[in-house]
Amino acid sequence: MSGSATIIEDSSKLSTADRLFFKFESLLNFLGGSVIFLLVFLATANVLGRWIFSLPIDGYIDWVEQAMAFIAFLGIAYTMRLGGHIRMDIVVSHLHGRVLWFSELISVCLMLMVTLVLVYGSYLHFWRAYSIGDSSLDINLPTWPAKLAVPFALTVLACRLILQTWGYLRGIREGGDSPIAVPLIESAAEVAAKEADSVIGEMDGASSK
């Protein structure tokens, strides 16, 4: 399941680091959203230019291709922090306490290893494009900025996974059902209740205006 999970905060160093890093992740997510907005604006200008003036934007496809990397990857760590990635929790939803946090720790460690491999491979891909001056086919747009966005975003994700590893290790040590700085697993009923509260809050806000 996916969604925005509950994150427990306190005054500990872990929670402080989590909140500070989340601000950086939020900025990257905002930049990714801004790229989407600019891409929509570019698409509109391209369609209107082609329709009204028979003058489409040169290299439109090239710009779209380069933007995809920023759209797809800049928000990946932000989503990880909120527990928004799709996951299968049929088994883990029945676990509790240290057993649950140990299973989550194994999952996060595996993701961290895979992410580090991807960081290395994507960085080599970026460096090859930068060193040979790789460019797009239409307007010779340099491809290395988009290719650099991938290892950069994955490095941010790796840092988030390290923070969550810290959180799960602390959860294993302390036990309990509410560790700090990690997305807590919520049942379908709890997710539905949060979504209903959000909708009701938006309706109350709209009616009060």
Question: What is the rounded average pLDDT for all residues in the chain?
Answer: 89
Residue 155 CB-half CA count within 13 A: 10
In a domain, 137, yes or no: yes
Residue 176: predicted pLDDT: 79
pLDDT band at 209 (very low <50, low <70, confident <90, very high): low
In a domain, 6, yes or no: no
| Alpha carbon separation from 34 to 71, 80, 161, 207 (Å, rounded) | 9, 20, 25, 29
In a domain, 122, yes or no: yes
In a domain, 102, yes or no: yes
Which of 46-50, 84-88, 122-126, 183-187 ranks highest by mean pLDDT? 122-126
pLDDT band at 96 (very low <50, low <70, confident <90, very high): confident
Which of 68-82, 91-105, 180-194 ranks highest by mean pLDDT? 68-82
- Domain containing 57 equals 13-82+91-192
Look at the chain and report how many structural domains it folds into: 1
In a domain, 127, yes or no: yes
In a domain, 8, yes or no: no
In a domain, 206, yes or no: no
Name the least confident of 50-59, 91-100, 105-114, 179-188.
179-188
Q: What is the pLDDT of residues 158-180, one digit of tens each?
A: 999 999 999 999 999 988 788 99
Count of CB atoms situated within 10 Å of the CB of 93? 14
- Over range 91-108, report the average pLDDT: 89
Residues 175/98, Cβ–Cβ less than 8 Å: yes
Question: First and final CA of the chain: distance in angstroms?
Answer: 35
In a domain, 62, yes or no: yes
For residues 205 and 168, the model is more confident at: 168
pLDDT band at 84 (very low <50, low <70, confident <90, very high): confident
Q: What is the pLDDT of residues 16-48, one digit of tens each?
A: 999 999 999 999 999 999 999 999 999 999 999
Q: What is the pTM of this model?
A: 0.87
Torsion sign, CA atoms 186, 118, 36, 61? negative
